[in-house]
Amino acid sequence: MKGLLAFFALFVAVLGKETFDGSFGLNNVWMGVTDVAVPVDVRVPFHSLQSIKIYLETQDIEYSIMIEDLQVMLDEEREEMEAAARVPQPRGTDSFDFSRYHTIDEIYSFQDMLVAENPNLVSKIVIGHSYEGRSLNVLKFSTGGTSRPAIWIDTGIHSREWVTQASGTWFAKKIVTDYGRDPALTNILDKMDIFLEIVTNPDGYHFTHNNNRMWRKTRKPNPGSRCDGVDPNRNWDAGFGGPGASGNPCSETYRGPKAHSESEVKSIVDFVKSHGNFKAFISIHSYSQMLLYPYGYTRTPVRDRDELHALAKKAITDLASLYGTRYKYGSIINTIYQASGGTIDWTYNQGIKYSYTFELRDTGRYGFVLPANQIIPTAEETWLALMAIMNHTVRNPY
Amino acid sequence: MGLRIVVFLAVLVVVTGSPTVTIRPEAASEDTSAHPNSLPETAEETETPGQQKVSIVEELEEDVMATGKLNPNHYPAQRAAKVVQHYLNTRYGSPYRVFFLHRVHSGNAEDVADSGRKYQLEISVQDLISTNTEKCSAEVLFPGGEQQRSPHVQASCEELRKIDTKAQEEALYQQYKTNPSLLAAHLPDSYGHINPEMKPFWHLGAVASSFIMLNESTENTLFNMAQVANVTQLATENDQLRFDYHILLHEMVSQDIIHWKLQVSWSPSGGVKVLQMEQLPHCHHCEKPPNTN
């Protein structure tokens, strides 16, 4: 036992909910023994704490305390869940609270309500299913025609970027509210269709609510690795395999075993190709406050660089006009970092000229855990930039 | 000559398989402004004091390791400026004083001895609590060499105006000195919320993190503190409040979330010190921290 480099992590439960009979049963082992030199997690009732510590120390077994007081954490979690349960289900999208973060079920209900309330404008298309079998829902906003030129917007491809799914929900409501009221949006929808995928990575989003708030990737296991998931923004067939993504499944930027290996990505690829008439493609992330155009995988400028640059400048100027939020803009590789296998590099190479990526608020003060009171201001200002891009797209057919 | 260049570059692409080689055989002879270190356009500042205007900066052609005058909105200057933020927090931060990078006005980079890189920057930082902004001139040296070593920073700021935080600091200190009982988790929580009484400990975590982020920074990283996972108060020692922090850092380039445990001491007179620091494995299900290419 002394030579065993087993490394215990302890939870300490003070005044735990369960009763203890004094013996240290197997139901206290939270992560069991799998291998030598792999840690074991153990929950220790308070009255056993001293004797367990003494035992481990005399046996020369390293340990560290992961949670000092499990009860505190459980109490906090129960409070959160009770608070959430107290919130009544909205009866319609007019009583949906856009200033809060929502679960995937709440967002999917919202989508269905929006369609039911606006049957002549909105429909829901299931373009595929996630690894864990969740439907990949796209809202189509259309005033008619067949296969009109179209604009694509996606949010939540990286699940921890919660302000994006929240903004996507707000955009959906904004579109139905403004059609017939705002001349610019009405003009756009009279000529083009808008497709909006709000929860582009539903498995990841569910995981951020229930397991790990900082989860980014998909949730597909990687054979032969203890690490799960593929970065869906490194999985596209553009510069795939080159620098700017990782080949290690444990990496947050793991590109996956091959391009389009993830159903969350493949579903969009298939949809875009079979539609064949997308003119703008906007993929929304957070955080950094940037508006980016291709490429990420190479420093070679895109052919339409000057036009995309000028349009980005207009869009971020409009964005800033609302609350003074400053955005940087430029190509991905110059502005943020080299990234290969990215969404808009692929869409641009498919011929979708107005391909942009947003990085929404903030610049790192709160980062991924942006306070909910910033959701609506973020969505409002971003909408102005989206309108600039959509207006330009409808006025410059190609 | 042109054809030979094309052939050479074609061979290079085939050999390396890299899509990043740009084949512009005519460029060498025709395009006189193509030198990577020259600037076809300059940054225009349209901001006037007291008004909220957007600064409009034209994009500049850049070489891979940007050298010479930098585009202040592109990542090389931004990453170096972030290092200055971390440095200022280690020097001046407290539970009531946290600096954040506000803007990069201008930057310059050069190669220096022993494959080091030196940045000169004009930046603004903002005190998150008072919301005052101040201008700073700074120099960041990223040492070269085999082992990764911490950057060296020199900075001088306009005033680092002494907003009087003394009273608040004293009050916090007294409150927690005699009864070391603080225990908190998830600052902010998943929804971005922090209880007002806990904010000073969020700030303290940010300042303590700055020591780590400063140490770990290179030209290829950009760190922010993502969350205080938990903080526990330990017994007061030598009149310093002491805390165990478990902090999550976010590194932008690798997109990693990195866990650190820190033992931190603080008092109004002693300032913030990191007594012990330990990086935790990425996840305890994995055998080792992930490698990022």
Contacts of A101 in chain B (CB under 8 A): 190-191
ipTM of model over 0.90: no
- Reported as a pLDDT band with limits 50, 70 and 90, residue A71 is confident
- CATH number of the domain to which A88 belongs: 3.40.630.10
Q: What is the pLDDT of residues B192-222, one digit of tens each?
A: 999 999 999 999 999 999 999 999 999 999 9
Looking at the structure, do residues A188 and A323 belong to the same domain, yes or no? yes
Same domain, A115 and A247: yes
- B133 to chain A, any CB pair closer than 8 A? The answer is no
- Which region among A225-239, A249-263, B247-261, B273-287 has the lowest average model confidence (pLDDT)? B273-287
Q: Which residue has the higher pLDDT, A182 or B22?
A: A182
Residue at A3 is within a domain:
no
Which chain A residues are within 8 Å of B19, Cβ to Cβ?
239, 242, 297-298
Query: Which A residues 333-352 touch B at CB under 8 Å?
Result: 334-337
Residue A206 has pLDDT above 70, yes or no: yes
Q: Does the pLDDT at position B42 exceed 90? A: no
Nearest-by-CA chain A residue for B189 = A369
Query: Is residue A106 domain-resident?
Result: yes
Q: Is residue A307 annotated as part of the catalytic site, yes or no?
A: no
Do the domain assignments include residue A125?
Answer: yes
- pLDDT beyond 80 at B21: no
User: Are A39 and A83 part of one and the same domain?
Assistant: no
CA-to-CA dists, residue B202 to A25, A102, A392, B58, B128, angstroms? 38, 25, 43, 37, 12
Residue B100, min C-alpha distance to chain A (Å): 7
**Do A196 and A285 lie in a common domain?**
yes
A52 and A163 co-located in one domain: no
**Do A145 and A251 belong together in one domain?**
yes
Q: Got the DSSP string for B154-217?
A: EEEES-------HHHHHHHHHHHHSS---EEEEES-TTS---GGGHHHHHHHHHHHHHHHHHH-
Say what the pLDDT of residue B289 is.
35
Distance CA B225, CA B247 (A): 7
Alpha-carbon gap, residue B127 to B21, rounded angstroms = 43
Residue A155: the pLDDT is: 98
Structure-token pair, residue A263 = 């159903």
Q: Is residue A98 part of a domain?
A: yes
A5 DSSP 8-state letter: -
Find out whether B222 and B185 touch, Cβ atoms under 8 Å: no
**Whether the predicted pLDDT of B52 surpasses 70:** no
Which CATH number fits the domain B166-286, given the four candidates 3.10.450.10, 3.20.20.30, 3.30.1490.20, 3.50.50.60? 3.10.450.10
Please check whether residues A168 and A47 belong to one and the same domain.
Answer: no
Of B22, B254, B287, the CB nearest to A300: B22
The shortest C-alpha distance from A119 to chain B (Å) reads 33
What pTM value is reported for the model?
0.80
Q: Examine the pLDDT at B16 and tell me if it is beyond 50.
A: no
Least confident of A65-79, A210-224, A333-347: A65-79
Confidence of residue B35 (pLDDT cuts 50, 70, 90): very low
Per-residue pLDDT for A325 more than 90?
yes
Sheet hosting strand B271-279, strand order edge to edge: B183-187, B223-237, B240-251, B256-267, B271-279
Dihedral in degrees, nearest 10, Cα atoms A304, A307, A309, A313: -160
Instruction: Search chain B and give the residue with CA nearest A292.
Output: B74
pLDDT in tens, A280-319: 999 999 999 999 999 999 999 999 999 999 999 999 999 9
The minimal CB distance from B290 to the residues A214, A251, A372 is found for A251
Residue B292 confidence (pLDDT) above 50: no
In a domain, residue A199? The reply is yes
Supply the pLDDT for residue A32.
Answer: 66
Predicted pLDDT at B180: 84
Contact assignment for A251 to B292 by CB distance below 8 Å: yes
Tokens 């539609």 label which residue? A275
Is B22–A324 a contact, with Cβ atoms under 8 angstroms apart? no
Question: Could you tell me if A169 and A225 lie in one domain?
Answer: yes
pLDDT (average), residues A248-253: 98
CA distance A6 to A28: 17
Check whether residue A159 and residue A34 sit in a common domain. no
- Examine the domain organization and report whether A96 and A215 are in the same domain: yes
Domain ends where: A25, A46, A68?
A68
Longest dimension (CA), chain A: 78
Closest CB to B183: pick one of A72, A214, A370.
A72
CA dihedral A235, A237, A241, A245 (to 10 degrees): -40
Chain A residue numbers with beta carbons less than 8 Å from the beta carbon of B257 are: 214, 252
Any CB–CB contact under 8 A between A330 and chain B?
A: yes
pLDDT of A146: 94
CB of A40 within 8 Å of a chain B CB? The answer is no
What is the per-residue pLDDT for B188?
Answer: 98
Of the candidates A329, A336, A374, the beta carbon closest to that of B75 is on A336
A42 and A144 in a single domain? The answer is no
- Cα angle B72, B75, B79 (rounded to 5 degrees) comes to 95
A246 inside domain: yes
Q: Identify the domain containing residue A49 by its residue range.
A: 11-68
What are the chain A neighbours of B276 within 8 Å (beta carbons)? none
Residue A74 lies in a domain: no
Whether chain B has a CB inside 8 Å of the CB on A145: the answer is no
Residue A41 contacts B where some CB pair is shorter than 8 Å? yes
Active-site residue, selected from the candidate residues A307, A359, A380, A381:
A359
State the DSSP string of A284-321: EEESS-EEEES-SS-SSPPTTHHHHHHHHHHHHHHHHH
pLDDT for the residue numbered B237: 95
How far is it, in rounded angstroms, from Cα A255 to Cα A268?
A: 17
Best B64, B70, B83, B284 member to test A by mutation, with max A CBs in 10 Å, is: B284
A-to-B residue pairs, Cβ atoms closer than 8 angstroms: 153
Instruction: Report domain extents, chain B.
Output: 166-286
Residue B56 pLDDT grade (very low, low, confident, very high; cuts 50, 70, 90): very low
Q: How many domains does chain A have?
A: 2
